[in-house]
């Protein structure tokens, strides 16, 4: 069994700037996972945006706290705590924090089988 906490050294050592806006860390990734691409956590400060991008993986953005405007291809929707957004492979997607507090999201990705 492998258990990771967001404050574990193995997680903090993976800190990076995700698509120009969010501070992100890989909680679990291909170093451990066999079938799932990764599980990451991202913190997006008010006014910041995960810029529009396309990934070669299917993804789910799950909002833990805060809020934002989620865009997938031509659709835009306000999201908040408890909302999960499915992003198909090859879809342009972005998330802008239009709230007053950090928007914290879990990002789960899976390769396209």
Domain spans, the chain:
9-111
Which residue, 74, 49, 93, is CA-closest to 85? Answer: 93
Q: Residues 24-62: pLDDT tens digits?
A: 999 999 888 888 999 999 999 999 999 999 999 999 999
Q: Residues 99-113: pLDDT tens digits?
A: 999 999 999 999 865
Residue 27 has a pLDDT of 95
Q: Residues 67-76: pLDDT tens digits?
A: 999 999 999 9
Q: Please give the CATH architecture assigned to the domain spanning 9-111.
A: Sandwich (2.60)
Contacts of 85 (CB under 8 A, 6+ apart): 60, 61, 62, 70, 72, 77, 79
């Amino acid at each position: 069994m492998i258990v990771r906490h967001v404050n574990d050294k193995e997680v903090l050592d993976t800190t990076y700037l995700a698509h120009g806006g969010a501070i992100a860390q890989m909680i679990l990734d291909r170093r451990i996972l066999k079938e799932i691409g990764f599980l990451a956590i991202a913190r997006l400060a008010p006014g910041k945006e995960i810029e529009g991008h396309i990934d070669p993986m299917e993804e789910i953005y799950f909002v833990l706290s805060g809020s934002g405007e989620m865009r997938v291809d031509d659709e835009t929707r306000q999201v908040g705590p408890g909302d999960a957004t499915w992003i198909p492979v090859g879809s342009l997607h972005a998330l802008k924090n239009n709230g007053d507090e950090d928007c914290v999201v879990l990002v789960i990705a899976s390769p396209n089988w």
